[in-house]
Structure 1
Amino acid sequence: MARIHLHLLSDSTGETLEMIAKAALAQFDDSEVLRHFWPMVRSQQHLDRIMGEIAANPGLVFFTLVNEETRGRLEERCHTLGLPALAVLDNVTDALEAHLGQEAKGRPGRQHRLDDAYFARVDAIQFTIAHDDGIAWEDWEDSDIILAGVSRTSKTPTSIYLANRGYKVANIPIVVESPPPQALFGLRRPMVVGLTTAPERLIQVRRNRLLSLSQSPDTDYVQAEKVESEVKYARRMFADNSWPVIDVTRRSIEETAAAIINLYNERKASGIKGPVGPKPI
């Protein structure tokens, strides 16, 4: 198995750099990558301290540094050590400069400045946390997206991920014995998305959850016939209300969120609104 050190240096939070590295590494199997993350690198003194660690653990160096002196020093030191250093956004920035006919503004962390979009994202996160697991359903009309699904279909983590992208999200568990509020079936503004999964996979996830809580796995919560009935009940509700459905069986949280965002954008572009009247089960 190949084993390498990967150093990620950013002049901001490094979120973008981490996502790029993660996406690239997903293309390679049978490799052990030791990631070293260095955010907020905005001075040569800070860089010099980091270079000691890089020299002790030589490997690949990916960076997003806009300060010419800092990045120049990094490239020089890496060249001396015989290490490849790649500015991962340079090609994208160069292409945009050429097509837009203007020079990029080299301000560290520019994409993370405290603008209206930042505060909108904070507002979305606060809203989403306050509307988890069916709480405060009276405010659902203020949501952008509502996720519905049986227990352990990744509703909460997907909601939080979407909130970090700026969407106000509420989620509601679909329980046979306790139907959702009637308000869910008459919403106009939010897009309701049904999350489902294969019963076998759901049983496995639920069983692991019970074991992690030191609870007995011998309950209806993981009983095959019971779980299959739950999934069918939820699917019937989704179909009766014409809600889009996403099967999360083999999807990561990021993949599920990306599919939801695509649905949301398509709905927004078409001007489609929610159902006029309820179709509860």
Structure 2
Amino acid sequence: MKRLRVFVVSDSVGETGDQVAKAVISQFRPSLENTVIRRFPHIQSEELIRKIVCLAAKQNAFIVYTLVRQEMQSLLHELCEKEMVYAVDILGPALKTMATFMEEFPLEAPGIVHQLDDDYFKKIEAIEFAVKYDDGRDPRGLLQADIVLVGVSRTSKTPLSQYLAHKRYKVANVPLVPEVEPPEELLKIDPKKCFGLIISPDKLNSIRKERLMSLGLNDDAIYAQHNRILDEIQHFEKIVAKIGCKVIDVTNKAVEETANVIIEHISNCK
């Protein structure tokens, strides 16, 4: 079997070219047997392109390239023709066609897609953070969080945390219960990043009864009783007063509405 050498040349990390090369090669060699794929990332100079083409000619390598700058595309193409090196341009034809369609010139800025990837990974990190520090599981997260939510049970702390996480905010939330002292970290955080979620007793009573019924339990449990709810709200008001944080009434608010209030408040505090 003929030994196959493939050079992946890119002005970014070369991941796109690498994946395309493997997809094509697998149609001839499903296990990529006797194949060497060498990646040349962050190629920004003409000198490097000349050296790579020269090396490809010596080693009889096939070049796959993803270069966004037209001058670099043209140079590599010309050198490959001169040295009789087989090469395929992955991005060039698509960029030209898109430019014609949109009647605009491309930015020709390497690595933009990976900036978007960074944004994606920040979102994933924030989602994982929200899960890890949900419902007061680990008070150490309070000092690391961008946003801290406090409130009695069933005030939408968890769904709100997840919604804000999709906006790339690291959110921790803490349930406030009269029988349990709040964690020390809660009183050490910046009040500007903490938000108390309050809800009307009647609305909370209705939500908790529905919750109990969905679990197959009686809706007259202490958890849903009016006096218990009033005690919890009184305890909540005592704690948020100590923190000195903003309180948001979520009685008739959708999660998105509450999130917008929080984001606007944080932006104004910067």
Sort the TM-score into its range (normalised by shorter chain): 0.5 to 0.7
Deviation for aligned residue 1:230: 0.8
Equivalent residue, structure 2, for 1:221? 223
- The separation in 1 between residues aligned to 2:114 and 2:255, in whole angstroms, is 23
**Distance (whole Å) between structure 1 residues aligned to residue 139 and residue 234 of structure 2:** 24
Aligned to 1:231: 233
CA change 1:181–1:111 in 2 (3 A) is same
CA distance, structure 2, for counterparts of residue 165 and residue 220 of structure 1: 36
1:251 partner SS: coil
CA drift at 1:176: 0.4
Q: Which residue of 1 aligns with 2:178?
A: 176
The amino acid across from 1:229 in the alignment is D
The whole-number CA distance in structure 1 between the counterparts of 2:265 and 2:170 is 15
2:265 maps to which residue? 263
**2:214 aligned residue (212, 215, 235):** 212
Task: Tell me, in whole angstroms, the C-alpha distance in 1 between the residues paired with 2:210 and 2:268.
Answer: 36
- Runs of 4+ with >3 A deviation: 102-105, 110-114
Aligned ranges for residues 1-150 of structure 1 at < 5 Å? Answer: 114-150=116-152
> Does the residue aligned with 1:201 lie in a helix, a strand or coil?
helix
Change (3 A) 1:239 1:121: same
Amino acid at match of 1:133: D
Is the contact made by 1:146 and 1:190 (CA closer than 8 Å) also made in structure 2? no
2: CA distance, partners of 1:221 / 1:192: 26
Separation in structure 2 between the aligned mates of residue 148 and residue 158 of structure 1, nearest angstrom: 11
- CA change 1:185–1:156 in 2 (3 A) is same
Contact 2:191–2:243 under 8 Å retained in 1: no
The 1:125–1:189 alpha-carbon spacing in structure 2 relative to 1, beyond 3 Å, is farther
Structure 2 equivalent of residue 94 of structure 1: none
- Residues in 2 aligned to 1:196 and 1:243: alpha-carbon distance in whole angstroms: 12
Q: Distance in 2 between matches of 1:200 and 1:112?
A: 49
Alpha carbons of structure 1 residues 229 and 118: separation in structure 2 relative to 1, 3 Å: same
Q: For residues 60-104 of structure 1, give each alpha carbon's deviation from its aligned partner in whole angstroms, at most 9, with x where no partner exists.
A: xxxxxxxx99xx9xxxxxxxxxxxxxxxxxxxxxxxxxxxxx878
Q: Report how far residue 240 of structure 1 moved.
A: 2.8
Aligned residues: 171
Superimposed CA distance per residue, residues 118-168 of structure 1 (whole angstroms, 9 cap, x where no aligned partner): 111111111111100001112321100010000000000000000000000
**Separation in 1 of the partners of 2:133 and 2:216?**
28
State the shift of 1:115 in Å: 2.6
Structure 2: segments with no counterpart, 5+ residues: 1-96
State the match for 2:163 in structure 1: 161
Q: Which amino acid aligns with 2:118?
A: D
**2:153 corresponding residue in structure 1:** 151
Q: Which runs of 5+ in 1 are unaligned?
A: 1-67, 73-101, 270-281
Greater gyration radius? 2
Partner Cα separation in structure 2 for residue 217 and residue 104 of structure 1: 62
Aligned counterpart, 1:82: none
The equivalent residue for 1:21 is: none
Post-superposition shift, 1:189? 8.8
* Distance of aligned partners of 1:126 and 1:210 in 2 relative to their CA distance in 1, 3 Å threshold: same
Normalising by structure 1, we get a TM-score of 0.55
For the aligned residue pairs, the C-alpha RMSD in angstroms reads 3.0
Is the 1:149–1:155 Cα contact (8 Å) retained in structure 2? yes
User: Which residue identity lines up with residue 154 of structure 2 in the other structure?
Assistant: R
Q: Match of 2:150, SS?
A: strand
Counterparts in 2 of 1:196 and 1:103: CA distance versus 1, 3 Å? farther
TM-score, normalising length: structure 2:
0.57
Give the residue type in structure 2 aligned to 1:248. V
Judge conservation of contact 2:127–2:170 (CA < 8 Å) in 1.
yes
